[in-house]
Structure 1
Amino acid sequence: MPAPKKLDPNPKTPRMALGLALRRFREASGLTQEQLAERISYSHSQVSQVERGGRFPSLHFVEECSRVLGAKDELLTLYTALESESAPSWFRNWVEVERVAVSIRSWEPLVIPGLLQTEEYAMAAILGEPGITQAQANKAVEARMARQEVLHREAPVLLWAVLDECALIRPVGGQAVLRRQLTHLLGAIELPNISVQVSPLELGSTVGILGGFALALVPGARETAYLESADTGQVTDQPDTVRLTSIRYEALRADALSRRESRRYIEEMIQKWT
């Protein structure tokens, strides 16, 4: 078996720093990459790629490595830095809030919420940004997929998502990509921690027509709001802003189709795009 690739002792990126720390903890525990992979139920290639800094790991991967290697909080701290590196500066605070939230209420008027996107849909949406390179898009998609771990961890976040009908009829990435995205969405709402409601076009103007937003509840802290705009966003726990955002969300939810009706509508849209 070839010797492991020598790592840069002075990592230049958070991803390389995480990989170096992972290898150090693994070797200190006397485990090979194959042995670690077996104990955390991941493949040898995934462990190898993360150690080399060539792969963006999931939160679950890092948590399992921390558990097996007795790494306490060091790997998780490096993972948080890795998430932040992969997000725009104005979005980094929300990534951290999202990671520790127990519940999230979200509204999206144009696209499927990021936490419920497929990889190919996310790629198509991100590549729609003017001037973005494929490398930048790859990095952004990896970060978005990693964020979705909050839905599948041992104590998953409760997600209540209201989305406009426009998000279900806009063929981001083409008809086939949208069909697979809607099929994925249909599967997601089978999970007990995910609820999706559709706001129909027949409502006309709504209180959320100007942009998406989300509200996150974090234990021991005030509820935090994330407000989208055309090219940036705002993360705040300012009480007046959070209260107004919460009122807007409840107004949207009250006018939306019920969860059962929304499921039926998603099924109809899948047939339309088939």
Structure 2
Amino acid sequence: MRHLMAIVVIIIGAYLLVCLLAFLLQSQMIHFPDRKIVATPGLFGVEYRDVFFETEDAVSLHGWFIPLENARACVLFCHGNAGNISHRLDSIRIFRALGLAIFIFDYRSYGRSGGRISEMGLYADARAARRFLVEEEEIDPARIVYFGRSLGSALVVELATHHLPLALIAESCFTSIPDLGRKVYPWLPVRLLSRIHYDSTMRVAGLTCPKLFIHSREDEIVPFSLGRRLFELAPEPKTFLEISGTHNEGFLTSGSTYVEGLKEFLGSLGI
């Protein structure tokens, strides 16, 4: 009996230790920044400018502004939770081919940006990026399209609650980190442990701009059901584009399905 009780105590202790680590280390479990810039748009002959700008809390951020003569609109690009802007060259090429100027930037602690990661900090980073576009590049706010992939989708949804864009595109998106955590770690009390939320459920319900949601049923990181749920919570006008392939490569392996879906959505905006 004592032996059995000892085993139970060990199991409970191990479980509580895992819970404690999940509570303390969750930022490291969500954010995977990379400092090294491995390539630039110049690699495929595209004109771009290195830009640095400051957030409201005085953090210096780095990004690339990629102009295009007679651009249909400008995409404010919020990337996912890993890597940095230099890992998004394929997306830059796609948006440029669609006739769009692009501003892509790194969040605090990513790439050449300063600061320390926090949920509120990343929201501030997105606001600073929009402010840079409007005030420094003099881009008409009515011609800015927000694009967020994965973690970036939560940032553009939050940003849109302050400044509505021409349109918003949320790719491989999720409702909230607690919802995502429950899917990945169903044996943990995720809601009790969550200090980081990136919750778009209430925010998306108030967005009246045109919205495109993109997701793959084969996404192995963010379940399709969460992307679909966020779409269902959003008011009209909205469109859902189903693609195929993995979380990080679906936009490429889907080929024309992805590109034509973007083209059709942009066309519906009258630009």
TM-score normalized by the length of structure 2 = 0.28
Higher relative contact order (CA 8 A, sep 6+): 1
More strand by share: 2
Structure richer in helix, relative to its length: 1
